[in-house]
Amino acid sequence: MRTLALDIFGGEVITAFDLATITADKVQTRTLSGGMRSARFPKIWKATAEYHTAGKELLGNEIETGEITITPDELLVAHTAIYDLDDILAHFEVRGQFSSELGRALARVYDKNNFRQIILAARRSADGPFPGGNVITDAALTNTGVIDGKAWIDAIRKANKALFNKDVPESETRYMAVNWDVFDAIKFAKDSSGNYLVLDRNYTGTPSSGGITAREETLRVDGVTIYKTRNAPNTNETADTSVYSKYRANYATTTAVLWTPMSVANVKMRDVTLETTRDVRRQEDFMVASMLAGHGTLRPECAVEFKTA
């Protein structure tokens, strides 16, 4: 019976993680197996084309290539104990709720680290033939107080232009993460004549309309899918010991991020797992959800940071 319960609660942890994370399927990811301690990701730049002259031997033009090696961070854990009396007196099913919360806790840190890595990628300088990242600095791009939704729409256009100028393929899927206030400002942005720029006022929220009565999880502006999140960093974390060391930086003026899946790469040595044990001395069940993953910059030119002055 305990083995069956472990399987059920483990599935709930994984389900909660998958539902809570935004970035898991939006970056390059590899799973390490067979004793692997790191993963290498290819970094390939553009090929060149030329006109051929009769009789000239083709020797093969060089395509600039590089390689990024990413290793896992330390083991990430979320844990709790369920005291027997609390379980007995609770008017709801405790274990299922707790296992879901453990999954969501892992998802929050996983997304935060991906967002941090996207920002760090956007701040990278050019490296040889490989372009650097993109930082759009504009005092109008605030994410608190009175927010100018049109300024954000214009900033998305600037970001797309920056990606275009660095030869990021137009076919690359583009994502953006903002907080609720920016999401709302973009959603209800108006032009100088008072016309909605994203919403059609003639609709009221049918599934295909994106109307104002719907609770959309995403918006699409200029080919960019916009998500609202609480997990994008917005404080100075340079001395925050709760943040894994390689992700610590000053994000105090960061207000949003935009990226394509090629910007950041992840490795997983251990996917989300759940362990539980019975502690008879304390009359409680102890639960630990864990994962072992790492994040790194792959193509800086595919990442954009939006920030104020």
Structure confidence at residue 137 (pLDDT): 97
Maximal C-alpha separation, the chain: 88
CB hemisphere CA count around 220 (13 angstroms): 6
CB count in 10 Å sphere of residue 293: 25
In angstroms, rounded to a whole number, what is the distance separating the alpha carbons of residues 228 and 75? 27
Question: Kind of pairing, strands 174-178 and 224-228?
Answer: parallel
Q: Could you say which residues of the chain have pLDDT below 70?
A: 1-11, 45, 83-96, 200-216
Structure confidence at residue 122 (pLDDT): 98
Structurally, at CATH architecture level, domain 2-44+65-307 sits in: Alpha-Beta Complex (3.90)
- pTM summary value: 0.83
Structure confidence at residue 91 (pLDDT): 43
Structure confidence at residue 101 (pLDDT): 84
Q: Report helix, strand or coil for 127.
A: strand
Structure confidence at residue 129 (pLDDT): 83
Structure confidence at residue 85 (pLDDT): 60
DSSP one-letter code for 125 = P
Structure confidence at residue 95 (pLDDT): 64
Question: Kind of pairing, strands 303-307 and 134-137?
Answer: parallel
